Structure formats: structure tokens, C-alpha cells
Amino acid sequence: MIEHDVVIVGGGLAGSRAALEIVRTNPRLSVAVVAKTHPIRSHSVAAQGGIAATLKNVDDADHWEAHAFDTVKGSDYLADQDAVEILTREAPDVVIDLEHMGVLFSRLPDGRIAQRAFGGHSHRRTCYAADKTGHAILHELISNLMRHGVTIYDEWYVMRLILEEGQAKGLVMFRILDSQVEVVRAKAIMFATGGYGRVFNTTSNDYASTGDGLAMTAVAGLPLEDMEFVQFHPTGLYPVGVLISEAVRGEGAYLINSEGDRFMANYAPSRMELAPRDITSRAITREIRAGRGAHTDGSAGGPFVYLDLRHMGQEKIMSRVPFCWEEAHRLVGIDAVHEPIPIRPTVHYSMGGIPTDTDGRVRSGADGFVEGFFAAGEAACVSVHGANRLGSNSLLECVVYGRRTGAAIARYVESRKLPEVNEQHYIAQAQQQIQTLLDQPGDYRIDRVRQAFQDCMTEHCGVFRTEAVMRAGLEKLQQLQQQAQRIYLDDKQSLWNTEIIEALELQSVMIVGELILTGALQRQESRGAHYREDYPDRNDEQFLKHTLSYYSSAGIDIRYRPVSITLFQPQERRY
């Protein structure tokens, strides 16, 4: 059996920052990072626009309290304010620490780190490396892990969390190269498995964002928090859905409809294109519904609106957002210097996830914690984003809470012994599960079921939601779950059998999808990214609380947990 003091699942920003903190704190600990991709191919590498911190390099009047207020208001008052305080107070320090590690941020003429405007932020505080910020940070973190001797299991798929008597003891993992199954035990397990964009048919996320960590946590009987809050990013490139960063609007681009109007004046007059994402995505969807979207031939009534950079000029476009120009050019043949880019909302980020405290300890319920289990990053819900995340706060969350969780783990494992795990039992179960997948005759192909499921989620749990539409979605989902039991695999080999991975990921996205739909049905109000046309107002009296969803094959049980309010009393949210 493989053994380590600590095993972290996920080599993105959260997992790698945590690993680094552990080995920096105690170099004698044996730390491993497991990832189903190579760690530097984690979705973090695709982050574009930047990381927020009140460095005050371009705006002296900025302050962490302003950052905290913007974050809480952006969250529609659902964020836990104690966690937001930590996020915003520690932000300058973690960014400087990244710079000391060697991250190449873009600069002001005097050499200090440059900062740009971002949606929902009242000051210019987003630090960036052109529009490739995630790339710059992740590469530096991973090379630091190698330098510090962290063991990396790349292209291993984690199939199961071993949880016994309220304690996380280890993992079951599958080597994609040759289908080998291994059990690993550790004093502490951390999930940093990222988001679940692939639950939907149009997303900015990579193919690996299938919510596996969330599904494994749910299947182990632990709750997930606030799953109904799914972020739609306003500017997904039409039709592919890949992201055109908010940095483009931060640098001055306009949103225009088929009539050429800057329609945000009607939705968020004080913030215009830099309103928070939930408001901007609804505005775009409303324009399209009202017939003011465009078709590719330029006529009205089509499925997208435009992001217009033309007034910015070639030099600014090429120096500040070169990657976005390149994406539009390469993927849809648009030269953004001369033509507006067709965009529409795309699924981007999961506000909910594995509930934790501010040390990354995973909650077992409204009170209480799971022994030996930690989480951070997009997979976790420490709830700094509440019902709607502000751009450039996610990389920040990964680094602040990755670091804190790493520090907490280093302390935790000091006094722990390696747990006992029945290796043969878990290996036999996993091998049986895979053999069943390979042997079953089956009637359905994986990609057909997955596509039908993603279409179902997009149609029934999108930007606008109603009870009737979601109930119909849940029924459809249940039928698709039955089909998913009867899939067949063409590839029966053990070498690089990616079909097995696709089959396991299909189970993950379907569990996550059911949790999203069920939480959304129960929340009879509109808050942040969760918009109910049948309950268009926020209802603090009944719903100023976090959802905790418990999964079982018999159905989903919904409970609630209070919100931590420290500095800012809930107010009406206007921009």
C-alpha cells in the first residue's frame, strides 16, 4: 500500500499552494499530489484576467475593507464574512509571496505590480500577467513543488475517498496508463479538485472539470454546500463557449446589442460593463430573449450579443489582452481590432462545494468536522463568494486558502498516526466496479448520454429558472441516470483506456447535476447567480442561509446552515 503523511488530490493553484506550504513548514513530511491530468494542465493554468489584492499601486484610496465590502455585496450577502475578512486582509501578502517565488506579474512603468479594473470591484486592484495570469502562477508553483521534493502522481484518477467512522483514511486511485488500481493511506487527505463546468453543455472550463471531488464527497455521505449557485460568465465566445476574459471589459471594451446600443446602461448604469457577472449575464440573456441578439450575418434576433474592442486600438489590445484577441481569431476568425466579438453567457464557476472552515477543515454537518479531511479552492465552499463570485477573487481564494489549509494540515499531522486501511477490500471493490463497466453489454454510448445530460442541465437549470422547468429537468435527469447504468465501452484494453475515465466522470457529473437541480428547486428566492422567475426577489427572512445537501441513492436531503455576518448588514444590492 502506498503511504504518505499527506495526500492532496488536485495540482491546480489550491492543491499546489497547499503542498508548498506543508513542505515549507515541515520539510520532513512526505507529501504527495495526485492529479488526473498533469498538474500544469489543471484548469488554473487557463485563468486569464488576474488576482485581486489591495496593493494600492494604482489606487491609494483602496483598502482591504473596501475589497471585503465589494466581495460581500457581490455575493448577495450569502458569503461568510469572517472568511471574506481573511481573504481580503491576507491578499496583499500572498501576492507579494508569489512575486518573491518568481511569478512574473505585469508592471507599471516604475516597476511595481500593475493593477486593472474588474467587475464588481470599486477600485483598480486586480494584479495580472497580461491575460495569462494562471499560467504564470501555476508554472512557478509546480516548479517549486519539484524543488521541495513533493511526490507527484500525474495521470492517476482518484475514484474513491476512504471514509470510515467519520475519518478520512485514504484514497483509491487508478493509473490511466495501465489501469492499475492502488490504495493510498495518509494522515490527512485534501481535495483541491476544482469545478464542474462540464455538467453543462456550454462552459469555459476544461474537459477535466467534472466535479469528481464533489461527487466522491457526496457519495461518502458528507454534505455539499450551496450547490445551486452556478456562475455564468457573461462573455463566452459564441458558439464554442470558451472564455473571453473580463479583463477585456476591465481594459475598456463595450457590450453592444444588434442595434449597436450599450445596453448595460439599462441594467447597471453606475457600473456599466463592469457590473458583477450575475447581473451582466442576465442582462445579455434578456437582450437576446427580447430579439436584440445578433445572427452571424449581422441580422437581429440571433443567439448572441457583441463584445466591442474596436475603440481600444490595436496597441492596447495586443499588449493588455493578446490571448483574447488570439482566441477570437483562431476559433471563430474574428479580428477584434476591426470587428466586434460574438459572445453569450457560458458556465464558468461553482460557488458551492465541499463545506470547510477557514482552516480548510471539512464540515460533517452544520456543526462538527471530519477527521483527517481538508479541502480548498474551487472544489471547496469556505463561502467567500456566497451566491456570486467577483472576478479575480477565485485565484485569490486558491492561494489564500491553499496556504492556510496547508499550514493547518502541517500542524494536524504532527500528532497523528497513519490509519489502518483494509487495502485488499478496497482494491477488490474498485476492480470489480471497473470490470463491471467493461463487461456490461449496455445499450447506450457514453457521449450520447453525457450530451443529453448536459443539454438537460443547460435547458432546465440555466440563467433563468422556474419550478416547472426544473421539475421537468429532474425527471429527465432520472431517466438519463437509468441510461447511464446501461452504457457500453468499446475499448476493453487496459492501456490508456480513457473510456473508463469517461464512464467514471459521467457518474460524477450526474451526481453533481442532481445536487444542483435539487438545491435550486428548494431555494424559492432569487439571490446572486440563482435567479427564479417565479420568486424574483431575495428573501432574507427565509433564505439568508447556506444549503447543505446530503446525497444518497434514495434521494437528496436538504438542510441549512447559518451565514456568518460580521461587518456588513445585508442591504438591497444596486449598481
Ligand X SMILES: Cc1cc2nc3c(=O)[nH]c(=O)nc-3n(C[C@H](O)[C@H](O)[C@H](O)COP(=O)(O)OP(=O)(O)OC[C@H]3O[C@@H](n4cnc5c(N)ncnc54)[C@H](O)[C@@H]3O)c2cc1C
- Give min distance, CB of 258 to ligand X, in A: 26
For 82-106, give the DSSP string: HHHHHHHHHHHHHHHHHHHHT----
Select which of 116, 125, 198, 277 is catalytic: 277
Q: Is 30 within 8 Å of 152 (Cβ atoms)?
A: no
Return the C-alpha cell found at 564. Answer: 456568518
User: Which listed residue (395, 410, 474, 489) binds ligand X by CB under 6 A?
Assistant: 395
Site membership for ligand X, residue 328 (CB under 6 A): no
Q: Is 231 within 8 Å of 284 (Cβ atoms)?
A: no
Backbone angles phi, psi at 233, to 5 degrees: -80, 135
> Which residue's Cβ lies closest to ligand X?
12
Beta-carbon count within 10 A of 242 CB: 18
Q: Scanning residues 22 to 81, which ones bind ligand X (CB under 6 A)?
A: 34-37, 39, 42-44, 46-51
* Alpha-helix runs per DSSP H in 51-210: 64-74, 81-101, 133-147
- Give min distance, CB of 86 to ligand X, in A: 16
- Give min distance, CB of 391 to ligand X, in A: 6
* Residue 214: burial class (beta carbons within 10 Å; 0-12, 13-18, 19+): buried
Site membership for ligand X, residue 204 (CB under 6 A): yes
Residue 88 vs 526, nearer CB to ligand X: 88
Q: Is 13 within 8 Å of 399 (Cβ atoms)?
A: yes
- Give min distance, CB of 35 to ligand X, in A: 4
Residue 470 vs 500, nearer CB to ligand X: 500
Site membership for ligand X, residue 355 (CB under 6 A): no
For 380-441, give the DSSP string: EE--SSTTSPPTTSHHHHHHHHHHHHHHHHHHHHHT-PPPP--HHHHHHHHHHHHHHHHH--
Site membership for ligand X, residue 394 (CB under 6 A): yes
Region from 175-183, 393-401, 437-445, 482-490 binding ligand X, contact rule CB under 6 A: 393-401
Show the CA angle centred on residue 343, arms to residues 342 and 345, nearest 5°.
165
Containing H/E element for 503? helix 498-522
Site membership for ligand X, residue 497 (CB under 6 A): no
Chain center to CA of 366? 23
Is there a catalytic annotation at residue 277? yes
Site membership for ligand X, residue 134 (CB under 6 A): yes
Residue 378 vs 525, nearer CB to ligand X: 378
Show the CA angle centred on residue 196, arms to residues 125 and 302, nearest 5°.
80
For 115-132, give the DSSP string: EE--TT-SS--EE-STT-
User: Which listed residue (378, 499, 514, 525) binds ligand X by CB under 6 A?
Assistant: 378
Residue 199 vs 474, nearer CB to ligand X: 199
Residue 151 vs 466, nearer CB to ligand X: 151
- Give min distance, CB of 28 to ligand X, in A: 25
Site membership for ligand X, residue 392 (CB under 6 A): yes
Site membership for ligand X, residue 235 (CB under 6 A): no
Site membership for ligand X, residue 573 (CB under 6 A): no
- Give min distance, CB of 223 to ligand X, in A: 19
Partners of 107 in beta bridges: 113
Catalytic residues: 277
Q: What is the binding site for ligand X (CB under 6 A)?
A: 9-15, 34-37, 39, 42-44, 46-51, 133-134, 157-158, 192-195, 204-205, 208-209, 212-213, 243, 349, 377-379, 391-395, 398
